[in-house]
Chains A and B, each alone.
Chain A
Amino acid sequence: QVQLVESGGGEVQPGRSLRLSCAASGFTFSNFGMHWVRQAPGKGLEWVAVIWYDASNQHYADSVKGRFTISRDNSRNTLHLQMNSLRAEDTAVYYCARRSGIVIDMWGQGTMVTVSS
């Protein structure tokens, strides 16, 4: 069926790195732009990054610009988020999500990232 499955979350110390992955299935991954959206515990949704269907363009939230990199491998139907120089305020559930037109029409179940010493 159509789904997005995130992986790679966990607990990491401040200043360290983590790489999230999102496996897509059930649809033609290479036809869709993809987002990462995060949600800190008990807080609202925060848009993080987007990548075009062909990886020709990316945009980032100011809070992660220069530290996070979104990428994709269309041959493996996989989306990534490389997170460097992690901070306590990056602690959140990270969702990958499909871009359809102007909206997000599909979300993964999320993966938790905890940044703590």
Chain B
Amino acid sequence: DIQMTQSPPSVSASIGDRVTITCRASQGIGDRLAWYQQKSGKAPVLIYVASSLQSGVPSRFSGSGSGTDFTLTISSLQPEDFATYYCQQSESFPQTFGQGTKVEIK
């Protein structure tokens, strides 16, 4: 199975800060990676696939990477961005998730 390792597990940041979350795969997955945002008590929402921002997602979100190392960056943190973010690989089954990164208010 492919293991997905996210870092950091949590980050405390202020409005307007730049936040970067990393996701590392235990083996190469090409660009078969997605990022999801989950707010407390709600279902996850797809925000990024490989290098593509999903429709309706603010442009302050950006993603990059291929192979084993990926990043999700929020260029200027907004109040609605406080949530937990998960990466997921779709290179092979089981389609494993990272353990999540919680973005909290400083």
Neighbouring A residues of B57 by C-beta, 8 Å:
none
Number of interface residues of A (CB under 8 A): 20
| Chain B interface bracket (under 10, 10 to 19, 20 to 34, 35 or more) | 20 to 34
CB distance from B95 to the nearest CB of A (A): 5
Looking at chain A's contact residues, the main secondary structure is strand
Q: Is the C-beta of B74 less than 8 angstroms from some C-beta in chain A? A: no
A59 touches B86 (CB 8 A): no
Known interface pairs A59-B94, A61-B94; A47-B88 also in contact (CB < 8 Å): yes
- Chain A residues packing against B (C-beta within 8 Å): 35, 44-47, 50, 59-62, 95, 101-105, 107-110
- Interface residues, chain B, CB within 8 Å of chain A? 1, 32, 34, 36, 38, 43-46, 49, 54, 84, 86, 88, 90, 93-100
